Structure 1
Amino acid sequence: MLSLCRKTLPSCLAVTLGLLLTACGGGSSSSSIPDNTPEADSATLTWQAPLTRANGESLSMGEIEKYVVRYGPEQSIGERSFEATVEDGQAMEHTVAGLSTGTWHFALKAIDTNGLESEWSDSVSKTIVR
């Protein structure tokens, strides 16, 4: 479980982001696809929106402002060099295109309407082969 907290705010956002890689038969950890498919250089990520805050209060979909996807060939989330913002807080899918050959790692965090950020989700990966 991920949580969003500011020490000055009593409510914290608890985010359970089960990140799943779904492009071309992908699984929860990694996948590779043939070079001749349109999705050969992309990865589609899906997740479940959080339903509660860390303090147990319910969280409505309207309270989620956006998601941030961090990705790159680096295994460490902090070292990944690419980010994409999913501006629609009600979205639960995002496709990252233009990936080069190699293994790519992805993680996600949520940001609520108060600007509180979750921790990064567990990472998933996809191997692009040509």
Structure 2
Amino acid sequence: MTGRPDRSSAMRFISLCALLPLLMSSGCQEVSGTSQPLTTSDRPTLRWEAPATREDGSRLYSSDIKEYRIYYRLRHHDTFKAIPLPVEKGTAFTLTRFKPGAYEFSVTAVDDQGRESRRSDGVAVDLI
């Protein structure tokens, strides 16, 4: 049988350890005794690879992926929040929106039918 796989099968997301050629951390920089705001290039960036297979092992085409969702929480909180990221924005997300704190992040993929993959393994990030 040829053609596209059954879209009803769930997506599989590779573990975040494999997905995030991880984070490049940096903290606040001191200049003349005052703390300077962090620029985009100073902040850690989450990076991942788009999944290529569904949970049942069938092929997942990149055109089937509509968006990614970056889940995050402060580690002392129980509840995660999600940030939708259109697939056109790529497979990287710079942590510019976040205040200092100890966070946990994971990523999912959402297909064009609205089905969301399981979350990747979480990664801890301490923002200073």
Q: TM-score, normalised by structure 2?
A: 0.71
Which residue of 2 is the match for residue 34 of structure 1?
27
Cα shift readout 1:46-96 (whole Å, capped 9, x = no counterpart)? 1111111122211110011101101121367x612x321111267211122
Structure 1 runs of 4+ off > 4 angstroms? none
Which residue of 2 is the match for residue 14 of structure 1?
12
Following TM superposition, by how much is the alpha carbon of 1:127 offset from its aligned partner in structure 2, in angstroms?
A: 1.2
Which residue of 1 is the match for residue 44 of structure 2?
43
Alpha carbons of structure 1 residues 90 and 52: separation in structure 2 relative to 1, 3 Å: farther
Which residue of 1 is the match for residue 58 of structure 2?
57
Q: Percent identity?
A: 25
Aligned residues: 112
Which residue of 2 is the match for residue 6 of structure 1?
none
Q: How do 1:1-130 and structure 2 match up within 5 A?
A: 10-18=8-16, 19-20=19-20, 22-23=22-23, 26=24, 31=25, 33-36=26-29, 37-39=38-40, 42-74=43-75, 79-80=79-80, 82-88=81-87, 91-129=90-128
Partner SS state of residue 12, structure 1:
coil
Measure the CA separation in 1 of the matches of 2:62 and 2:76. Answer: 30
Answer with 1 or 2: which has the greater Rg.
Answer: 2
Which residue of 1 is the match for residue 34 of structure 2?
none
Indicate conservation of the 8 Å contact 1:61/1:90, yes or no: no
Query: What code does the residue aligned with 1:15 have?
Result: F
Alpha carbons of structure 1 residues 106 and 10: separation in structure 2 relative to 1, 3 Å: closer
Following TM superposition, by how much is the alpha carbon of 1:115 offset from its aligned partner in structure 2, in angstroms?
A: 1.1
Q: Which runs of 5+ in 2 are unaligned?
A: 1-6, 30-37
Alignment root-mean-square deviation, CA:
2.7
Q: Which runs of 5+ in 1 are unaligned?
A: 1-8
